[in-house]
Amino acid sequence: MAQATIGNSEFDRDTTVTRRAPGTGSAAESGAPSAAVTATFDADLSARWSILKALNGGYLLAVLGRALGDTLPHPDPFSITAHYLTASQPGPAVIRTETVRAGRTLSTGQASLVQFDDDGAEVERIRVLATYGHLDALPNDVRTAATPPAMPPYEHCLGADDAPDGEVPLNDSSEIVDRFDMRLDPATAGWAIGQPSGVGDMRAWFGLADGRDPDPLSLLLAVDALPPTAFDLGLSGWVPTVELTAHVRRRPAPGRLRVAITTRNLAGGFLEEDVQVWDSADQLVAQARQLARVKLG
Amino acid sequence: MAQATIGNSEFDRDTTVTRRAPGTGSAAESGAPSAAVTATFDADLSARWSILKALNGGYLLAVLGRALGDTLPHPDPFSITAHYLTASQPGPAVIRTETVRAGRTLSTGQASLVQFDDDGAEVERIRVLATYGHLDALPNDVRTAATPPAMPPYEHCLGADDAPDGEVPLNDSSEIVDRFDMRLDPATAGWAIGQPSGVGDMRAWFGLADGRDPDPLSLLLAVDALPPTAFDLGLSGWVPTVELTAHVRRRPAPGRLRVAITTRNLAGGFLEEDVQVWDSADQLVAQARQLARVKLG
């Protein structure tokens, strides 16, 4: 199979958003607020990006990020925040976007993803607020004290195929496993055999299974692609994201990413996941943090 | 002077928002989107919270956070994100809020702060998206690997009065200096005498000058109250916030806070500031991150 390319890959196909012609599908027709709507998009959320019974939050963020990129005068999400309201379902979805401010260097937009229940009633799934810019227009100065995560080479890390049968959530019916070329640092994979480190870390090599190289949009997927750090804390169960904010700092170089996540503070049934994404050129390309609820299984 | 109390302090007075009766000041009257507006508030932004020529971003976030707390069924900002669009000015402002989703445990809302230019045209200053909950309803479990910042006791830290005349931005005409009881860790105050550490850290004891104890709302002020970490990197000039997200994790105990900020990655003219806020009981009460532009002076 030939390596997929940016623009022609399963990630690109499954995040497709189709802009409606102005005046069609407007909010007035759907019962939603009208004056603020500047564009309406149709999407078809693919079950291929499901983890257990839910659609992956990073996949959904990429769909919304793409609609915002098509709305705003700047292409790249510099800072994007999503609040996950209700569980998205595979199938049709409508995304409404609004240009909040269009500036010279940066523009800010808002997006809302909605689906319709069996009675045709609209249910909002996700609300997003983001500021976009042009990564390629930035000066080339980098002055960082951050260092790439210390982890073994890809060949010495663990893929879904390495897991004992039926032991690993990653290796169950979740279709998303087949979308990813992901290998966990063995130091953060002990939970899969009942030996979590207790530290709250998760590190992995991350790529798309069809070989598509990373771009700013797929970084939005990468920041929410790994197993929950709660597993490394020895917790099991569901850890739904309340809010996730991602900063895309550089355009990633081709090749696999390294994703490192840390959780330092579990309190009151919530925890944060702090994410760094590094590219093959040792550039810190994205930073993200999410607040998640710990729902013990 | 008696110590000010929560609800009766200059912070409380200057963040006052007054809800308009339903049907007055609606969006239809002001030309803004209508269906989504669920409440409208008037505020009077006080120049007393200005830093150089701008109003402090944390003060503004607290004003918006208060309006959202009055709108949503839950009182406390669990996660709040602000995108700063244009520079707010002291004086009248209007805040419009929308309830995006009201759940049992969490509710999500959106807010917009606008002001009016000389021609009466509306200019949006800040757009906010947030999820609120009830801190006091959370279980008491805490499992944290985070540790309070290592810094000298308050008495050995440096206040504005300790700065050489005219050398410190903190000590200039900025009125906000008089609102704070803030003392910097000397290790992160070298920039004030031309000797920045180059690390990108900033640490301080933080309280309100009138002695008001911290609460979830004042934590929104605390996360953006310290001098820019860019100063510790040896940079000078303006570092305007593009986006700031704060997670309030616990209700703070009475007494001074410790605020620790780190910047690890300056790239392409942007940097992140990562903030931890600790209370007098050694609880991690807030985490925040902002993306800021570096505009060199």
What local confidence, expressed as pLDDT, does residue B236 receive? 85
Strand partners, B54: B51
Q: In sequence order, which residues have a C-beta less than 8 Å from that of residue B51 and are 6 or more positions away?
A: B174, B176
- The full set of domain ranges for chain A reads 10-136, 154-296
Q: What is the rounded average pLDDT for all residues in chain B?
A: 91
Q: Is A266 helix (H, G, I), strand (E, B) or coil?
A: strand
Read off the pLDDT of residues A243-254 as tens digits, 9 standing for 90 and up: 999 999 999 999
φ, ψ of residue A174 in degrees (nearest 5) = -65, 120
Which residues of A fall within a CB distance of 8 Å from B249? 265, 267-268, 270
Judge whether residue B2 has pLDDT over 80: no
* Contact call for residues A242 and B79 (beta carbons, < 8 A): yes
Q: How confident is the model at residue A174 (pLDDT cuts 50, 70, 90)?
A: confident
Average pLDDT over residues A236-243: 92
Which residues of A fall within a CB distance of 8 Å from B127? 100, 108, 110, 129
Q: CB A264 to CB B33 under 8 A? A: no
Determine the Cα–Cα distance for residues A95 and A40; give it in Å rounded to an integer: 6
Read off the pLDDT of residues B147-187 as tens digits, 9 standing for 90 and up: 999 999 999 999 987 766 555 545 455 788 899 999 999 99
Q: CB A143 to CB B269 under 8 A? A: no
Nearest C-alpha in B relative to A273: B287
> Residue B29 region, left (φ>0) first, then alpha (ψ -120 to 50), else beta?
alpha
What local confidence, expressed as pLDDT, does residue A175 receive? 84
Q: How confident is the model at residue A163 (pLDDT cuts 50, 70, 90)?
A: low
A10-136 is a CATH 2.60.40.10 domain: no
Judge whether residue A29 has pLDDT over 50: no
Average pLDDT over residues A17-42: 69
* Contact call for residues B75 and B132 (beta carbons, < 8 A): yes
What local confidence, expressed as pLDDT, does residue A33 receive? 44
What local confidence, expressed as pLDDT, does residue B25 receive? 53
Q: How confident is the model at residue A31 (pLDDT cuts 50, 70, 90)?
A: very low
What local confidence, expressed as pLDDT, does residue B30 receive? 44
CATH of domain A154-296: 2.40.160.210
* Contact call for residues A122 and A32 (beta carbons, < 8 A): yes
Read off the pLDDT of residues B67-117 as tens digits, 9 standing for 90 and up: 999 999 999 999 999 999 999 999 999 999 999 999 999 999 999 999 999
| Integer angstrom CA distances of residue B124 from B56, B127, B193 | 16, 8, 38
Strand partners, A115: A123
Determine the Cα–Cα distance for residues A233 and A4; give it in Å rounded to an integer: 36
Judge whether residue A28 has pLDDT over 50: no
Judge whether residue A219 has pLDDT over 90: yes
Q: Identical fold at A10-136 and A154-296?
A: yes
What local confidence, expressed as pLDDT, does residue B238 receive? 85
Average pLDDT over residues A37-64: 93
Q: What is the rounded average pLDDT for all residues in chain A?
A: 91
Q: How confident is the model at residue B31 (pLDDT cuts 50, 70, 90)?
A: very low
What architecture is the B10-135 domain classified under in CATH? Beta Barrel (2.40)
Determine the Cα–Cα distance for residues A98 and A130; give it in Å rounded to an integer: 11
Q: Tokens in use for B151?
A: 């810094």
Q: CB A243 to CB B86 under 8 A? A: no
Q: How many CB pairs under 8 A join A and B?
A: 178
Q: How confident is the model at residue A140 (pLDDT cuts 50, 70, 90)?
A: confident
Is pLDDT larger for residue B152 or for residue B238? B152
The lowest-confidence range among A96-110, B11-25, B112-126, B169-183 is B169-183
Average pLDDT over residues B202-216: 98
Of chain A, the end-to-end C-alpha distance in Å amounts to 40
Note whether B131 contacts A: Cβ–Cβ < 8 A.
Answer: yes
What local confidence, expressed as pLDDT, does residue A153 receive? 97
What local confidence, expressed as pLDDT, does residue A172 receive? 52
Average pLDDT over residues A118-130: 96
From the list B100, B233, B249, the residue facing A127 with the nearest CB is: B100
Distance to chain A for B268, nearest Cα, Å: 5
* Contact call for residues A82 and A61 (beta carbons, < 8 A): yes
